[in-house]
Amino acid sequence: MKIIKTEKIFGGKFLNVFRKILIIKNEKMGIWEYVEYNNPPRRAVIMFALTKNREVVLEKIFRAPREDYTIELPAGSAHTEEETEAEAAKRELLEETGFLAKKITPILSVVSLPGLINLELVYFFAPDVELVGQQECDDEEEIEVIKVPLDNLVDFVIEQSKTAKVENDILSVLPILRKKKLI
């Protein structure tokens, strides 16, 4: 495949939409449309935070594209090019949940929906987080903090998925945390 042209279709506050014109098999022309995240490094940070009582800190957050609430791990992105991913992960956890992470460990970096969005996900683990204050959510965010015992997390996700939309990251990161002996 060969990319002939890239054109910006839409530019928004958080996302841009692009169209690529390319040559595909048999010298035919093809079109591929995708979304690009506007934050400087195009990387999102996701925090698997665990309290001293071994409770996983989750969020129930309203998502406008779905017009509904989803249950997710705390996440966000760097606000400046100077802010490291680790700093962004700690800040987002504190702002969205009121929990402070004194120590964090990088888990892995992956891509998600690579045919749709140009975004890398960077996962961190934060043991022994402490509730130190109130949430300081952005105006666009409506978040309820949920704490779930780690031993009940899989059952919680299965039960919640019957009535709510649950982000797949919650369970997909568990085997990696176990493999790295972090939980």
For tokens 């019957």, name the residue: 162
pTM of the model: 0.85
Q: Please tell me whether residue 161 adopts helix, strand or coil conformation.
A: coil
For tokens 């929906």, name the residue: 113
Best CA proximity match to 86, nearest among 58, 123, 137, 50: 123
pLDDT of residue 135: 74
pLDDT tens for residues 103-140? 999 999 998 888 888 888 999 999 999 999 887 766 66
Reply yes or no on whether the pLDDT at 66 is more than 90: no
Q: How far apart, in whole angstroms, are the C-alpha atoms of residue 97 and residue 74?
A: 8
Averaged pLDDT for residues 74-82: 85
pLDDT of residue 122: 94
> Which has more confidence, 163 or 136?
163
- Residue 150: DSSP 8-state: G
